[in-house]
Amino acid sequence: MEAVYEALNIFFIVFHSCLIIFILFGWIWKITRRANLISLLLTAFSWIVLGIWYGIGYCPCTDWHWQIRRKLGYFDMPYSYIKFLIDTITGLDADARLVNIMTAALFSLALICSVWVNFRDYRIKAGTSF
């Protein structure tokens, strides 16, 4: 059973990291813009609405991944998945508050960009100008 948990651990590291990259940059390419906006809105819903019950910034992917890592014997995991990635990649102990601020800032920037380009694409498709 441990092999299954190890495989799931690797899956979540790859999947969640790719999702984060997509959330930050998926608005750039026209073909992925709508999916990117949906991903951003679902993330905001999770962080804010589900956060009412589970804690602000709640992410189901992080929750599921942490459950798997606990099965593997890892118990000292940060609340933030981004902090986990930074710490794992760099070997440092990043400041959690700074990581949270940067995460929120980059997420907000990606959301603004995504809303902007999706709105612009909609206006162009509808044949109206700014």
Residue 75 above 90 pLDDT?
yes
User: Contact 16/98 with Cβ under 8 angstroms?
Assistant: no
Q: How many domains does the chain have?
A: 1
Domain limits for position 40: 2-126
pLDDT of residue 130: 56
Q: How many CB atoms lie within 10 A of CB 12?
A: 20
Give residue-wise pLDDT tens across range 20-73. 999 999 999 999 999 999 999 999 999 999 999 999 999 999 999 999 999 999
pTM of this structure? 0.91
Percentage, residues of the chain above pLDDT 90:
93
pLDDT of residue 129: 61
Alpha carbons 79 and 58: distance in angstroms, whole number: 9
